[in-house]
Structure 1
């Protein structure tokens, strides 16, 4: 005996799960793989069946049906709970980027409505309306991409709508992250000479000399303890880094000790005579001034570079000092030399001194493997990129010198 199929009021056979309500509208009901009931409705049967096609595609692709009310912020909250393995300061910075730029507006977007064009439009809005720099958008993208990838993994999305969005933004707008510029040899000589002779800024000579002649990262240097330095073996042990970040607790912003940036960053590097002299100069200054390290950070104490209160140095303080040094050094140069050939200091930061040290290694033809070991680079690509830039500039300078030599030789031959 044939089973009688349900029909609507126009005598059309209804499929399994399809129903016509008493008011004449239509409804489709089904259960997902978790056994949860879901339904969709439409005014006409044709409209309902169009929606059924989308439901079927979601079921085949494993996309969850409870995505209708889910927002990007909901996925972010899940990501916060699940994300593990990050250093506290890195995780705190990620959360700041999301909650500052994404959460208030874009984060309220429903996952079901999210398209690639929405992400592109959001990045354009940040660049155009809020004048957010490309470096910051890059950081925002790092977090947002991870949040949306979680939605893909949890079957709320078929694909990650933020894929390639940042790359396309940079390409469309010709955005390029500004490369750090190393000091030239004349600029480096000017910087070191000014610090060594200036009564006002001589106090900064030791720490900036160590930065300039070890290539250590700022946090590695500000976190150095006297026990990390061996004057007998002329070596420096880099085994931790000092960070300053917002804990997102009642403690607010604080210093903390972290492991170095990568496993390769844990290293022992040679101490050049100039660096040894700088350490000894710092020690003598502190003894003469009656200064002593009083800071204790995660059990670490006896830090080498301290402020006048005996606390560890803050990276922001060092960058502010550099800006004043650059300003007053350039004023001093211009007071005695107004010519276009006068060497002036460019604008640079703490990390530029690490880049400068790397460039000097390249110019001295130090091997890439040795450079990686000294700098603590995790892979050769980072080192090779710097090497390529440095050798390009160096080769250009060498060719100019060769041209000048050739012209002199030519003039000498013509004179004969």
Structure 2
């Protein structure tokens, strides 16, 4: 309110202007104020009506504790702060988060000012990733994982009232029919075909031990390739899982670039565990040791202080997932060629599978054997039992289907019984 004798300021249309308002020489309007940090801020609008709408938003932001600088901060700015402050992640996970953000968020969506973000903007962004860029749902899930954390920080730091990406991924999955194939383990006949082929075939016999260990322990590929001789006890029949071997692009870690190995501890306490050896798993370890002794192969690498790795190539270097999956593709091809040459009526053939499929194979065998769900969770190193339950549900669903198919066949083959009613 103007003081006594003070002339009220007006615009060119003789409309009285409020404190902080002003009209510029070109006819547009501006509003100036001082934020909580003492910094002078200003906003502009073409008309006084639009300016006062912005003033109302500013006053609401002040009441809600939203920072004035949010109007100038972009999503990329918040990500850069998140990147500097984020702790508690494995380096390969952190590098993957940065890659996902820089590849898919930073170029466009990341330039959006935080203050203008709405849920519809997040939905539009996710739909663009799915419809225009054709990303798989698993990739969009990875993008969401990091973006949601970044926007959570924006809420915590009073740049936003709510996280606009909340529930957006769930809605995307409901509205889109993504073509995803559930991973499945090998059936028992497929598993027997694979292991028998590897044991008999001279070309691929050296791959038998590591594949047999994956089939018979359910270890993740990094856990298997990271095993050292000191991690197994052949007498007690135990495998001690306490670390994992990872191979990834370090990009900008401490100025280093390129792909190389690191040893990481498990992400959760559940990942550190002991797995009991089945007989064929123990035999596979012994076969690997005898093969290396016969061919004078020794571990020749030390990674983060770890050495004496069990599964090494002929040069003494550790194995990794890419090499194993390439070998598996060749094994599938040559094994199936051999089966087809036999011209059997209903041949068992190996499906397309990867290292991770062998983990599912182990899980499937445990479900088929009726192993307690908690034992399965502990053996697989799942921190959350819901992960185990989801796999268990898928496997038991298939088992029920097979059981009822067999029951249906039994009824069809059963001779018709003539049932006579007893005399009254």
Q: TM-score, normalised by structure 2?
A: 0.91
* Structure 2 residue 397 is matched with structure 1 residue 392: yes
Secondary structure of the 2:52 match is helix
2:10 corresponds to which of 8, 12, 18 = 8
* Superposed CA offset, 1:27-55 (max 9, x none): 32222222222122345433322221111
| Cα distance in 1 for residues equivalent to 2:29 and 2:135 | 48
| Cα distance in 2 for residues equivalent to 1:112 and 1:58 | 10
* Superposed CA offset, 1:54-106 (max 9, x none): 11122122222223332222111111101110000100111111112222233
2:387 corresponds to which of 366, 377, 382 = 382
* Structure 2 residue 71 is matched with structure 1 residue 68: yes
- 1:124-143 pair list within 5 angstroms: 124-143=127-146
CA apart distance, 1:388: 1.2
In structure 2, do the counterparts of structure 1 residues 103 and 45 end up closer, same or farther at CA, with 3 Å as the change threshold?
closer
CA apart distance, 1:393: 1.2
Counterpart of 1:258? Answer: 264
In structure 2, do the counterparts of structure 1 residues 8 and 387 end up closer, same or farther at CA, with 3 Å as the change threshold?
same
| Cα distance in 1 for residues equivalent to 2:46 and 2:330 | 71
Q: Is the 8 A contact 2:30 2:43 kept in 1?
A: yes
CA apart distance, 1:389: 1.3
Gap regions ≥5 residues in structure 1 = none
CA apart distance, 1:410: 2.7
In structure 2, do the counterparts of structure 1 residues 65 and 396 end up closer, same or farther at CA, with 3 Å as the change threshold?
same
Secondary structure of the 2:246 match is strand
- 1:49-128 pair list within 5 angstroms: 49-128=52-131
Secondary structure of the 2:397 match is helix
Q: Is the 8 A contact 1:170 1:176 kept in 2?
A: no
* Structure 2 residue 404 is matched with structure 1 residue 404: no
Q: Is the 8 A contact 1:169 1:175 kept in 2?
A: no
* Structure 2 residue 42 is matched with structure 1 residue 39: yes
| Cα distance in 2 for residues equivalent to 1:26 and 1:71 | 24
1:191 corresponds to which of 185, 191, 194 = 194
* Structure 2 residue 363 is matched with structure 1 residue 358: yes
- 1:300-315 pair list within 5 angstroms: 300-315=306-321
Counterpart of 1:370? Answer: 375
In structure 2, do the counterparts of structure 1 residues 83 and 407 end up closer, same or farther at CA, with 3 Å as the change threshold?
same
| Cα distance in 1 for residues equivalent to 2:81 and 2:195 | 51
CA apart distance, 1:129: 3.1
* Structure 2 residue 174 is matched with structure 1 residue 171: yes
CA apart distance, 1:411: 5.4
- Greater alpha carbon shift after TM alignment, 86-95 vs 386-395: 386-395
Secondary structure of the 2:364 match is helix
* Structure 2 residue 295 is matched with structure 1 residue 289: yes
In structure 2, do the counterparts of structure 1 residues 129 and 28 end up closer, same or farther at CA, with 3 Å as the change threshold?
closer
Q: Is the 8 A contact 1:245 1:255 kept in 2?
A: yes
Calculate the aligned-residue CA RMSD, in Å.
Answer: 2.2
- Greater alpha carbon shift after TM alignment, 25-34 vs 139-148: 25-34
Counterpart of 1:332? Answer: 338
Counterpart of 1:345? Answer: 350
In structure 2, do the counterparts of structure 1 residues 263 and 176 end up closer, same or farther at CA, with 3 Å as the change threshold?
farther
- Greater alpha carbon shift after TM alignment, 116-125 vs 298-307: 116-125
How many residues in Structure 1 have an aligned counterpart in Structure 2?
413
